[in-house]
Amino acid sequence: MNITLHHAHDSRSLRVLWLLNELGVDFTLVVHDFFDKSLRSPDYAKLSLAGRVPMLVIDGTVMAESGAMVEYLCEMFPDAGFGRAAGQVGRLEWLDWVHYAETIGQHCANLTQSHIMLREDWMKSKTLQRLEAKRLERVLTRVEQQLSDGRDYLLGDFSGADCGVGYGVKVAARFVRFDHLPYVAAYFERIAARAAYQASLPPKGAQLIYRQEFYEMPDVQNG
């Protein structure tokens, strides 16, 4: 199987890069700069008209959705035990968590857009920033509840769902304090310690999306 992943540091393509590293399979990694407009180039448009990452090419077939990539890769390499086959106990819950990553991701994306991509203060809505941070905190409470029985990962053992949700938790930590989410905080420490996760992080000096440890929730009293 010939696998190529198109990736940008700090982006949601980390979900797939991390899973590939967990699986220990051979793949080619193509790294793009999120800010130099190369993702909008005519060459890249042949893969993604939207100019997005991840894009995964498997034996010449292009995939554009990270949730689908997680599902497919787990199915292609079942011996790793990171997926749940059709008819297998836990399949429904596994699928739900694989795609819950996007519930987390949509609020992370909105906050990223507002805090980082809209560079001038006059472009930003403090009300929207605060609202999205609160929404993100609420969707994380489901992760908190899932982990509150003392399990290490979402389904007990590590699975592909943790790559999707784990990336969401990683980004959420830039916008939401985990003071009232102790199980989420501990979960993040566990996933961050995994060798495959560490191998997926940007190298020193790489161009990053998130350049602050934390983006404070604004006071909307005067704006």
| CATH number of domain containing 25 | 3.40.30.10
User: For position 221, what pLDDT does the model report?
Assistant: 59
- Please enumerate in sequence order all residues whose Cβ is within 8 A of that of 59, keeping only pairs 6 or more positions apart, or say none: 1, 2
What's the first-to-final CA gap in the chain, in angstroms? 54
Reading the block at residue 156, the tokens are 């007990």
Residues 6+ apart with CB under 8 A from 12: 53, 54, 66, 105, 167
83-125 pLDDT, tens digit per residue, is: 999 999 999 999 999 999 999 999 999 999 999 988 788 888 9
CA distance 50 to 207: 21
Please list, in sequence order, all residues whose beta carbon lies within 8 angstroms of the beta carbon of residue 37, skipping any fewer than 6 positions away: none
CA dist 147 and 189 (Å) reads 13
Read off the pTM.
Answer: 0.95
Q: What is the pLDDT of residue 223?
A: 46
In a domain, 191, yes or no: yes
Indicate whether 70 belongs to any domain. Answer: yes
Same domain, 102 and 73: no
- Locus of tokens 């560490």: 198
Domain match, 126 and 182 both: yes
pLDDT greater than 90 at residue 222: no
Q: What is the pLDDT of residue 53?
A: 97
Does residue 220 form part of some domain? no
* Same-domain check for residues 125 and 46: no
The mean of the pLDDT values for the chain is: 95
β-pairing verdict for 28-32 and 3-8: parallel
> What was the pLDDT predicted at 192?
98
**Are 72 and 18 within one domain?**
yes
| CATH number of the domain where residue 154 is located | 1.20.1050.10
What is the total count of domains within the chain? Answer: 2
Q: Are residues 63 and 99 in the same domain?
A: no
94-111 as b/e: b if 16+ CB within 10 A: bbebbbbbbebbebbbbb
pLDDT at 95: 98
Do 63 and 130 lie in one domain? The reply is no
Cβ pair 58, 2 in contact under 8 A: yes
User: Do residues 104 and 136 share a domain?
Assistant: yes
Tokens of 218: 């604004």
Does residue 53 sit in the same domain as residue 152? Answer: no
Residues 75 and 97 in one domain: no
Query: Average pLDDT in the 36-57 region?
Result: 95
Quote the domain boundaries for residue 126: 91-200
* pLDDT (0 to 100) of residue 142: 98
